[in-house]
Amino acid sequence: MRQAGLVVALGWIVGSTLFSFCPQAAAHDSTVFPTIGEVIRKDKRLDKIIPLDAKIEVVASGFVWSEGPLWVEDYLLFSDVPQNTIFKWKEGEGISVWMKPSGYTGLGDYSPEPGSNGLALDRQGRVIFCEHGDRRISVLTKDGGKLTLADRYQGKRFHSPNDVTVKSNGDIYFADPPYGLPGQEKSPLKEMDIYGVYRVSANGDVTLLTDEVSRPNGVAFSPDEKTLYVANTDPADAVLRAFPVQPDGTLGPSKVIYDFRPLVGKFKHLPDGLKVDREGNLFVAGPGGIHVLAPDGTPLGLIFTGQATTNCAFGGDGSELYMTADAFILRIKTLTKGANGKAGAQ
């Protein structure tokens, strides 16, 4: 989800770091990057997760609203939702267009956010897309075409699938808020009154798992897949919920494990995308940057970007955390790895 007021200043100071915005930086192929922000440590446990000398690198910039990072083999994919484009970034090569259009294939203008958003890999290594404008979950086939996996529930079209994660059995879990619709929650194109979290099973069945989250956004499993975390991008209920996953893949009653509401308005953005490391620690995009939480929700620290930070993904050898933050693609080295021991798993 994009908030109003994108960064247009030519320069600013974040923490002790000066960074000057330069749209041309998006095309650079350097392996030496400027830095931004700082790591704020709240608990000693963070020292075993993020090195004491870790820096937040700016590996690319100049985008309208970056989202949905996904590491594939040796490169990063991410969505620029307003530009209806998926970009590819590779170290030493820089940025290139990987797919356009990425989420809306209709004629004319659709909405301010028509493109793809969340991306994931299925168990065959194929890219799965959350498409705002075409209002579906799709997959890129080996022949290069897209296949629709789900675009409606009980005959009614989804709003704008936003974020997605894949269970080890191949089931796809995704959130469906209204942010990609023209007019969002007031859109005349809405076909449902609920904003749900859904599952698409291997045989194509679509199940509504919960509609108790008012604006469901980021979704991710714990390493043992017994818990599904769902972030709520609602200023009035800006929380992270944990749902127990039942043996049949449905969800039990949730509990709030972290409350972002005291930070809303003090820092940019709201709870958004998230990832989990192999120890079950959570990396949650929220006000100010990426919040690092213990599995029970205890705050360990904040990767403070100072930007409206939307999501993150483990990449490289699995220990580099890539972050989408408004106009930027950021990276920080960690001492952990993504859940399941590999990048792109979620």
Q: How far apart are CA 273 and CA 44, in angstroms?
A: 25
DSSP β-bridge partners for residue 136: 131
Mean pLDDT confidence for 166-185: 97
pLDDT at 148 over 80: yes
What per-residue confidence (pLDDT) applies to 199?
98
Q: How far apart are CA 68 and CA 86, in angstroms?
A: 9
- Mean pLDDT score of the chain: 91
Measured from the Cβ of residue 185, the count of other Cβ atoms closer than 10 Å reads: 13
pLDDT at 161 over 60: yes
The domain limits of the chain are: 11-340
Q: How far apart are CA 19 and CA 16, in angstroms?
A: 10
Dihedral through CA 45, CA 51, CA 56, CA 59, nearest 10? -130
What per-residue confidence (pLDDT) applies to 18?
30
What per-residue confidence (pLDDT) applies to 79?
98
Q: Label residue 144 by pLDDT band (50, 70, 90).
A: confident
The predicted-structure confidence for 95-112, as pLDDT tens digits, reads as follows 999 999 999 999 999 999
Q: Label residue 21 by pLDDT band (50, 70, 90).
A: very low
What per-residue confidence (pLDDT) applies to 11?
28
Q: Label residue 25 by pLDDT band (50, 70, 90).
A: very low
The predicted-structure confidence for 291-310, as pLDDT tens digits, reads as follows 999 999 999 999 999 999 99
What per-residue confidence (pLDDT) applies to 247?
97
What per-residue confidence (pLDDT) applies to 315?
98
- pTM reported for the whole predicted model: 0.91
Q: Name the CATH code of domain 11-340 (choices 3.40.50.10440, 2.40.10.170, 2.40.50.100, 2.120.10.30).
A: 2.120.10.30
What per-residue confidence (pLDDT) applies to 30?
65
What residues contact 205, with CB distance under 8 A and at least 6 apart? none
pLDDT at 290 over 70: yes
